[in-house]
Amino acid sequence: MIRQWEVSILSFRIRIAAVCLAVACTLAAFAGASAGTAAGKPEISRFLLANGLEVVVIPDRRAPVVTHMVWYKSGSAEDPRGKSGLAHFLEHLMFKGTRNVPAGEFSGKVAEIGGQENAFTTVDFTAYYQKVSPQALEMVMFYEADRMANLVLTEAVIEPEKNVILEERRSRVDSSPGGILGETVAALLYKHHPYGIPIIGWEHEIKGLALDDAMQFYKQHYRPDNAVLVVAGDVEAQNVLELASRTYGKLPPGEGVVPVNRVVEPEPVAARSAEYFDERVTTPSFERFYLVPSYQTAQPGEAEALDLLASILGGSTTARIYRKLIVEDEIATGAGAWFQGASRGQTRFGLYGRPRGKFTVEDVERAIADVLDDIIENGVSEEELNRQRNALLKSVIFERDSQTTLARLYGTVLSLGGKIEDIHQWPDRIAAVTVEDVNAVARKYLRPQRSVTSYLRPKP
Amino acid sequence: MNRNFPLFPATLRFLAVLLMVVGTVTGAQAADTREVTSPSGIRFWIVEDYTVPIVTLSFEFKGGANQDPAGKAGLAAVLAAMMDEGAGGMDAAELKAELEARGIEMGFSSGRDALSGGMRVLAEEVQGAFTLLAGILAAPAFEEQALERIRAGFIQRAVRSKTSPRAILANTMRDNLFSRHPYSLGSRGDERTLARITRRDIVEQHQRIMARDNLTIGIVGAIAPQDAARMVDEAFSALPANAALEPVGDVEPVFGFKKHIEFNTPQTTVSIALPGVKRADPDFFAAYLMNHILGGGTFSSRLYDEVREKRGLVYNIGSNLSTLRHSAYLSAGFSTRPDQAGQALDLMLDEIRSMAENGPEAGELEAAKKFVLGAYAINNLDTSAKIADGLVRLQAEALPIDYVEKRPEYINSVTLDDVREIASRLLSVEPAIVTIGPQPVLRDAAAN
């Protein structure tokens, strides 16, 4: 059981929106740092198999548990135009059996040993994982490698699974006023890039997805040279390498080139806004999103500065927005800022607030704008930068307490095209950020023309 | 809007879910659990481990929302939220800055039957963290201004839950299952009850609930037992010796009612409830294995196979055995397009009927046993916080320190007949059924 306190007080650094196969996750958020500078850090090993599969091993010998994850460097941004939701559809279909293994056998084997399993799709990648006992590692590697190459789909599974996804869409989007508005906001923020299209797909396009579409996506993207294998937990690196060579290593590299989405979002020129009224909304809320660079697209140091700017603005109860709106002015029940650093393309910096009592969304919007203007005009202080920096660096060590957190961190960074060194050097790069760096990114990126503002309101 | 990691998966577990201590541990950690008594006489369990230089503390005081006074539902939840709003001579802002500066993660939460807290800290800061915790437990400031802020947030959430189909459904189910027992009340209160809570109520509830005789503690990580004992004394020995808890009676839920709530939603949500068994019941494991086969697995249960896998009627479906301190029940549910809700409900009731009449197959029971045996380590031992929570749970259930090593015997000794018998006993009862959506699902359901 994860108690509320344990999760709610963690400070996660990488935020990624994901859609999952089962009941397990909605938004995945991963810490974007690592314990690279601490003494006694875990010995991470990296191997490259001849067929192009990248393998990362993260030992954690404290408990007899292994986390086994395969990450494909393709997500909903690779969905062909007019076939939104295809990457996610395929994620569901990957559980339907292969040339060698009947449907349900893999899940049955995982269940038989009390293991956990799931999969999730994001805009940038698709991941499959199992959490099992160390003795079962070879078994899950055998099955996961098998479904990397031998998936078989029949028409009989297509319709029921599309219906499952339509129900998933009803529960994630239609049942959530914020989810409905969020789809419009993404479309406004990304006028050209496919990040503006929902991961789960538009309803009318989900209905049109066909077996051939899924198989084509599978053949193009599901291949060792487009994948990262991460194994964390009670394992030896050399042993994992041997098992990986015996299973994944037998697969041929893919043919031709993996189709990669290379669309670049043009620079934004006009402030946009969206307003949505829903009878299910009782308290209005305000959010603003700025198009900003990610760790993958930024100039050196800019993403780190954006991370710290988000912390200073509104990442905690000591941050400016919280202190001003919630404690001093008492005009909001919730307010803050965040930066989603993990993204292959241009990403989001967010501000949000929910009015308290008799106050309005406009009051909250104005107060957040005042806090932001003050930073843009006068800059941040050395003292608050150091305070937030230290909090960030201290929290890094906690990641080592969870093999799942580490597996997701390394998998995410490598899937986005980053390197292990990026993770290990992150604390040093955060340490190097100056007041001037933070002020510069605030002035450069938090401009009205880069933003979309969204208002969620009760039905009048 | 909280942008952090979602706290809980979007499952269909509408009602309180408690950790079941089932399964077995083969790892070193379980065997390394030690019971220690501090100089002042506070007992706690500890797992010493220096792999990662952090210390995790988990603790629990018996008595949570079930202690909320009449008309003041939500008091325990507000108390938990108020704990870190200033203490030991520091105002709320100073305290939060201090915790942040030292990299201490600390939190309090309330459940139906307990108030719990936890702390995670770098080994080098552990002494300072326990000193801060001592100040918080002994002399929380409970600032008026913070109370009003927290109250406003709670009331806003309570109002929002009135348009949340899941919340409406859960309230209706609870009201009817547990009429007039504290369990029938929402543990986070509503606008009326929250408005009545005063600072004095919070001070009194703090004194009543946070004592030494209803406290359990688990500690995991880079700390020697004798140091931990000294720090436990510093943090907890100033608390009152005895809690002043209102007695809470055991309650048998009422089943058999059928309710429909008219609500304009894109999906109809269905929840049913049936009898369960309490944790201390000798039939607990038979019931647990039966529930796992019926609807407890992730991608492998009868409900999942029939309703999702074969027919694509739902995204989520499952059943859950809820064990509270004073009651128990089994719940199951799903959401689906309104025109399909009747078909999905019929399928679910068919599966329940078939399990009641015939029980599981021998092969299903074997597979379920293997799952339950293996799942314990995988689910509960991979992070310090989970281990620390587990230590607290075992103690709160009054189980022995070597309990988890004995689990395989208990699980393996469950026979097919045991499971058939419990399936028949629990599932032959007329279920409570609550539905919410644009049109009724059952002909004989009462409008709520």
Other beta carbons less than 10 A from residue A180's beta carbon: 16
Instruction: Tell me which of A6, A43, A78, A91 is the catalytic residue.
Output: A91
- Residues 40 to 59 of A: which have CB under 8 A from any B CB? 40
pLDDT exceeds 60 at position A11: no
Contact of A91 with chain B, judged by CB distance below 8 Å, is answered with: no
Q: Would you call A264 helix, strand, or coil by DSSP?
A: coil
> Is the Cβ–Cβ distance between A307 and A392 less than 8 Å?
yes
> Is the Cβ–Cβ distance between A388 and A320 less than 8 Å?
no
CA angle B398/A402/A386 to nearest 5° reads: 115
Q: Which amino acid is at A458?
A: P
Could you give the CA distance from residue A304 to residue B205 in angstroms, rounded to a whole number? Answer: 45
Could you give the CA distance from residue B289 to residue B307 in angstroms, rounded to a whole number? Answer: 20
Q: Report pLDDT digits (tens) over A116-155.
A: 999 999 999 999 999 999 999 999 999 999 999 999 999 9
Q: Using CB atoms within 10 Å of the CB of residue B74, give its burial: 0 to 12 exposed, 13 to 18 middle, 19+ buried.
A: buried
Predicted confidence band of residue A41 (pLDDT cuts 50, 70, 90): low
Other beta carbons less than 10 A from residue A460's beta carbon: 5
Query: Which residue from B152, B146, B133 is spatially nearest to B92, judged by alpha carbons?
Result: B146
As a whole number, mean pLDDT of residues A40-58 equals 90
Could you give the CA distance from residue A120 to residue A87 in angstroms, rounded to a whole number? Answer: 10
Query: Which residue from B106, B147, B109, B148 is spatially nearest to B129, judged by alpha carbons?
Result: B106
Q: Tell me, what DSSP letter sits at residue A299?
A: P
Could you give the CA distance from residue B143 to residue B85 in angstroms, rounded to a whole number? Answer: 7
> Is the Cβ–Cβ distance between B434 and B172 less than 8 Å?
yes
Q: Would you call A66 helix, strand, or coil by DSSP?
A: strand
Q: Which residues of A touch B19 (CB under 8 A)?
A: 1
Predicted confidence band of residue A455 (pLDDT cuts 50, 70, 90): very high
List beta partners, residue A132: A66
Q: Report pLDDT digits (tens) over B190-220.
A: 999 999 999 999 999 999 999 999 999 999 9
pLDDT of residue B18: 30
Q: Which residues contact A70 (CB under 8 A, 6 or more apart)?
A: A127, A128, A129, A144, A148, A227, A228, A229, A230
Could you give the CA distance from residue B65 to residue B186 in angstroms, rounded to a whole number? Answer: 8
pTM of the predicted model over 0.85: yes
Q: Report pLDDT digits (tens) over A190-245.
A: 999 999 999 999 999 999 999 999 999 999 999 999 999 999 999 999 999 999 99
- Residues 327 to 356 of B: which have CB under 8 A from any A CB? 335-337
The mean pLDDT of chain A is: 91
pLDDT of residue A28: 30
Q: Tell me, what DSSP letter sits at residue A254?
A: P
| Active-site residue flag, A117 | no
Predicted confidence band of residue A15 (pLDDT cuts 50, 70, 90): very low
Q: Which amino acid is at B209?
A: I
Sign of the alpha-carbon torsion through B334, B339, B340, B343: positive
Dig out the tokens for B439 from the structure.
């049109």
User: Which residue did the predictor score with more confidence, A14 or B46?
Assistant: B46
Q: Which residues contact B414 (CB under 8 A, 6 or more apart)?
A: B285, B286, B289, B365, B369
Q: Using CB atoms within 10 Å of the CB of residue A252, give its burial: 0 to 12 exposed, 13 to 18 middle, 19+ buried.
A: exposed
Query: Which residue from A265, A264, A125, A121 is spatially nearest to A189, judged by alpha carbons?
Result: A265
Q: Which residues of B touch A15 (CB under 8 A)?
A: 3
How many angstroms separate the most distant Cα atoms in chain B?
65
Could you give the CA distance from residue B82 to residue B215 in angstroms, rounded to a whole number? Answer: 19
- Residues 4 to 23 of A: which have CB under 8 A from any B CB? 4-10, 12, 15, 22-23
Distance of residue B69 Cα from the nearest chain A Cα, in angstroms: 24
Distance of residue A11 Cα from the nearest chain B Cα, in angstroms: 8
Nearest to A6 among B12, B370, B385 (CB): B385
pLDDT of residue B21: 37
> Is the Cβ–Cβ distance between B313 and B333 less than 8 Å?
no
Could you give the CA distance from residue A218 to residue A78 in angstroms, rounded to a whole number? Answer: 12
List chain B pLDDT tens, one digit each, 448 residues.
Answer: 333 322 222 222 222 233 333 333 334 455 589 999 999 999 999 999 999 999 999 999 999 999 999 999 999 999 999 999 999 889 999 999 999 999 999 999 999 999 999 999 999 999 999 999 999 999 999 999 999 999 999 999 999 999 999 999 999 999 999 988 999 998 999 999 999 999 999 999 999 999 999 999 999 999 999 999 999 999 999 999 999 999 999 999 999 999 999 999 999 999 999 999 998 899 999 999 999 999 997 788 999 999 999 999 999 999 999 999 999 999 999 999 999 999 999 999 999 999 999 999 999 999 999 999 999 999 988 999 999 999 999 999 998 898 888 889 999 999 999 999 999 999 999 999 999 999 999 988 887 6
R_g of chain A, CA atoms, integer Å:
22
